[in-house]
Amino acid sequence: MTESLIPLVARAEQTAPDRIAIADSAGEYSYGQLLEKSHAIASALLAGRADLEGRRVAFLVPSSFDYPCVQWGIWRAGGTAVPLCTMHPPAEWSYVLEDSGAEIVVAHAEFADKLAPVAERLGCRFLRCEDIRDHALGALPAVEADRAAMLIYTSGTTSKPKGVVTTHKILSWQIRSLIEAWGWVPDDRTLLVLPLHHLHGILNVLSCALWAGATCEMAPRFDAEETWAGIQSGRLTLFMAVPTVYARLVKAWESASPGKQQALSAACRKLRLMVCGSAALPVVTLERWREISGHTLLERYGMTELGMALSNPLNGARLPGFVGQALPYVEVRLVDETLNAVPDGTPGQIQVKGPTVFREYWQRPSETEKAFVEGWFKTGDVAVRENGSFRILGRESVDIIKTGGYKVSALEIEDELRNHEAIEQCAVVGVEDPEWGERVAAAVVVKEGNSLSLDTLRAWAKERLAIYKVPSRLLILPELPRNAMGKVVKPELAQQFRA
Ligand code: MLC
Ligand code: AMP
């Protein structure tokens, strides 16, 4: 058989077929099995066609061996993989299916009954995982590396999430950069506890492990006790997560008996690397984790549109509060409003260039164009460089909130809340929180004669929005603080929540 042109698949074809690629709660699976199952799924998706030619295939599969089988199956059939989130309500799935123009939807048995009506309403071909994973192997198309591989939905400064298009080539540069920087080797074994509709889990953990010929243990979801058990097994060499996960692991460690604490701490010493990112890692968490585990977390900075961009070194001093330097193949500049490079010590916007940068926002040419200047992607994040290392200061937009490592748009949440029958006006802000980084906080003016509690608002919102977008703080106000232009003054509102 000819070698795949998809870099990640081609790597697996060169890996010894009996090496273990994935371990999940049902067992262990080799690279050979991954190639065979993804081939079977590709054949089922093609259903007699020669090539899906970039058609979008959405898939809803929990974190398990089935996930990379379906993802790679879509790729090998020539399709664009659109991961759906297992925790999302149907309204969020519906938006992604519609926006991406998904032609086919693949669902795991656990979600099939909930997803099928959504897919059918939109006229998508609906396939159940268990019906396609043993399909007869057919001919596969030659899928060139410039073809779109993934569409990942990310919230931004606009109301609704946008699909970030990454090609196989871009994905392979994002992977190579991390393999080089963090020294992934075939003997590595990692534990994936992150969701698989976002880049951190997909790229940094799953794809890097599979590129390296290493093993990825896939947990169905994050659970602090289970994660500690994984660390305690002594099998892992690498672990990567968001700050909230480390905060939860700290909490679980603190509630263990002194004997257990000692055993957990000793187990951490067997890992060679622990990485943190997706949101600012509070220095207190870094210090506490160092006391507990002996590891100075390697903090890095990335974005769905870019993969990873900045990282503390694998070997060498990792500075608390800093995200390090540009990763291999990534160019980073810090500029002021007139696009002049700022000197060390002066804040500027992070802009990024290179082969790891995404191709476009799906079917949003003007937003894609606006996102770049002189070939540089404008991240909207502000940083300062000190002694050659970057420190993230925050974001330019008050409407972007990072909670538990998830990026959410205040505007999207406000648009949804305005549909609530008791809400006259509302404004959403992020409020600092030691566990979540930021919490989604909603200030509301209720319609005359109405009342609203946090519980009823949450129950209502959970039907419409992803759980991490649902406000966990509520303030009922007689009016919202506005400036002379009538615009809500969000910093003032955030201050009211803090008070
Ligand atoms: C859940 N809850 C929240 C919340 N998420 N409350 C406030 N803020 C949030 N963000 C609430 C739920 O409503 C629930 O309440 C209760 O907390 C427990 O929820 P849970 O579902 O059990 O939480 P948990 O699953 O433990 O989630 C914590 C977590 C998760 C840290 C594991 O948030 C997570 O996986 N985050 C990672 C996100 C990620 O991968 N981001 C990467 C983006 S890519 P109730 O009332 O229902 O009981 C990117 C690029 C880069 O950023 O650089 O990496
Ligand atoms: P997302 O759009 O979900 O990919 O999130 C990307 C955003 O997460 C970036 O633009 C930053 O705002 C934030 N981010 C990622 N890593 C870090 C970090 N180490 N410190 C602070 N913010 C981070």
* pLDDT average, residue stretch 276-305: 98
pLDDT higher for 464 or 2? Answer: 464
- Give yes or no for residue 403 CB within 6 A of ligand 1: yes
pLDDT of residue 159: 80
Please identify, among 182, 201, 229, the residue that sits at the C-terminal boundary of a domain: 182
413 occurs within a structural domain: yes
Q: In this structure, what token pair is assigned to residue 55?
A: 């058609």
pLDDT of residue 2: 79
* CB 181, CB 21: distance < 8 Å: no
Phi-psi region of 204 (alpha: psi -120 to 50; beta: other; left: phi over 0): alpha
Q: Which residue has the tokens 């299916």?
A: 97
346 occurs within a structural domain: no
Q: In this structure, what token pair is assigned to residue 251?
A: 């909490």
Please identify, among 122, 150, 182, the residue that sits at the C-terminal boundary of a domain: 182
156 occurs within a structural domain: yes
307 occurs within a structural domain: no
483 occurs within a structural domain: yes
Task: Inform me whether the pLDDT recorded for 300 exceeds 70.
Answer: yes
Please identify, among 182, 211, 239, the residue that sits at the C-terminal boundary of a domain: 182
DSSP state for residue 360 in the 8-state scheme: E
Q: Whose CA is closest to atom 5 on ligand 1?
A: 468
- Give yes or no for residue 406 CB within 6 A of ligand 1: yes
Confidence band, pLDDT 50/70/90 cuts, at residue 4: very high
* pLDDT average, residue stretch 6-35: 98
Confidence band, pLDDT 50/70/90 cuts, at residue 157: confident
Which H or E run contains 173?
helix 168-182
How far does residue 468's CA lie from ligand 1's centre (Å)? 6
Q: The domain that contains 63 carries what CATH number?
A: 3.40.50.12780
Name beta bridge partners: 217: 23, 191
Which H or E run contains 97?
helix 90-100
Using one digit for the tens of pLDDT, what is the confidence trace for 217-247?
A: 999 999 999 999 999 999 999 999 999 999 9
Q: Closest Cα to residue 494, out of 437, 440, 443, 431?
A: 431
The alpha carbon of residue 321 and the mean position of all alpha carbons in its chain are separated, in whole angstroms, by 21
Burial class of 2 by CB neighbour count within 10 A (0 to 12, 13 to 18, 19+): exposed
Tell me the HSE value of 401 on the side-chain side, using a 13 A CA sphere.
Answer: 33
| CA distances for 398 relative to 236, 394, 488, angstroms | 39, 10, 11
Structurally, how many domains does the chain consist of? 2
* pLDDT average, residue stretch 440-446: 98
Q: Closest Cα to residue 116, out of 138, 100, 94, 137?
A: 94
- Other CB atoms within 10 Å distance of the CB of residue 72: 24
389 occurs within a structural domain: no
Task: Inform me whether the pLDDT recorded for 272 exceeds 70.
Answer: yes
- Give yes or no for residue 63 CB within 6 A of ligand 1: no
* pLDDT average, residue stretch 41-66: 98
Give the Cα separation of 61 and 38 in Å (integer): 14
* pLDDT average, residue stretch 290-310: 98
296 occurs within a structural domain: no
378 occurs within a structural domain: no
User: Does residue 454 sit in helix, strand or coil?
Assistant: helix
Give the Cα separation of 80 and 311 in Å (integer): 29
Q: Ligand 1, closest atom to CA 200? A: 54
* pLDDT average, residue stretch 153-164: 90
Look up the domain containing 442 and give its range: 400-498
- Give yes or no for residue 244 CB within 6 A of ligand 1: yes
Residue whose CB lies within 8 A of the most ligand 1 atoms, among 221, 323, 402, 406, for a mutation test: 406
Q: The domain that contains 484 carries what CATH number?
A: 3.30.300.30
Give the Cα separation of 219 and 62 in Å (integer): 9
